[in-house]
Structures are given as structure tokens and as C-alpha cells.
Amino acid sequence: MRLFNLYMPMFLSFSLLHGVTLQSVFDNAEPANGYDKYLILEHDMIYTGEVGVYEGNVFIEGNGAIVDLIGGLGIWVYAEEEYPANLDMEYVTMINGGYNGLTFNGTSTGNIHNCNFMQNLFGIQIMDDAEILVSNCNFISNNEYGIAVRGTTAELNISYSNFWENSLGCGGYNENC
């Protein structure tokens, strides 16, 4: 963790100078592999900002990239029956969310694999009738919870994930509080 804190300002300043926002990558993403938008992030690159997914099938191929939310709302996915939305994501580290790293609302769905959620208010928050699968993820030093499930109809399936030093709750997980 000490190395992360030492080198993070250098990586962040490099990304900010080059202006690589997550929104710009999202806006320019093309369809591929059965997804409406297929985002490919570069290894060891820091992307900044937040993005909303309101319809369609989206994949983020992280390749070890960092998404610095700069105190913003994170990536949020919202769907209704007539406008389905799905987010699948792998190998991304999400940091510094002022609220959630990821939020799933409405009837949204998602599969989150091999990701890290660090120093957000909540790593992931799931609400309404959302259904997600989380596997092999790490939730580290989030200000409240690593994962929070709100409501009795949201569905979270989680496996092989770790929770360290999240400020509240037993290991950083909260359901219907």
C-alpha cells in the first residue's frame, strides 16, 4: 500500500496531462464480441472521471488500468424492462469514488471479474431489481463498505473475493440496512 501511495501522484499527473477520460473511451467504443460497446483500456494507464450506462450491453476490458473517479459518482448502470442495460468488466482498479465505484439500479445486470475497488465510499452498490455476479475481486480501504445491497429484490452472487480495511461492517459487506 505504501508503494501505491508513493507512485500514485506521478501516475495521476501523467493521466491528467494527457486528458484520458473514461467518458471519451466510452463515447468512442465500437461494438465487438456481441457487445454494443466494447471498451479496451490500456495496461498501466490511469483514466479519469465517471460514466453512465442506460441501455445496451457494455464490456470494459481493463487490462490492469486504473480508473480514478476523482471524487465523482463512479460508473452507474440503470435499466428498465423496455431499456435493458448490462455491464461486464474485468481487470480494472477503481479508486477515489466520492460515492460508489460501481452502482447497479433498476433491472440492470452485470458480471464483474478480477477487479479492485479502493478508497471509494462504497466499492459496489446494488439496488432495486439489479442482478450481478462478482468474482475474484478485492475491496480495500473503502470509506464505508466494499459492497452494499439495498432492497430485498436485488441479487448479488459473489465468490472468491477479499475485503480489507473497509471502515464499516463485518468485512465490508452490508445488506438491507
pLDDT in tens, 70-129: 999 999 999 999 999 999 999 999 999 999 999 999 999 999 999 999 999 999 999 999
pLDDT tens digits for range 30-54: 999 999 999 999 998 999 999 999 9
Q: How many residues does the chain have?
A: 177
pLDDT reported for residue 3:
46
Interior angle at CA 71, CA 136 and CA 120, nearest 5:
30
Please report the pLDDT score of residue 12 as a whole number.
47
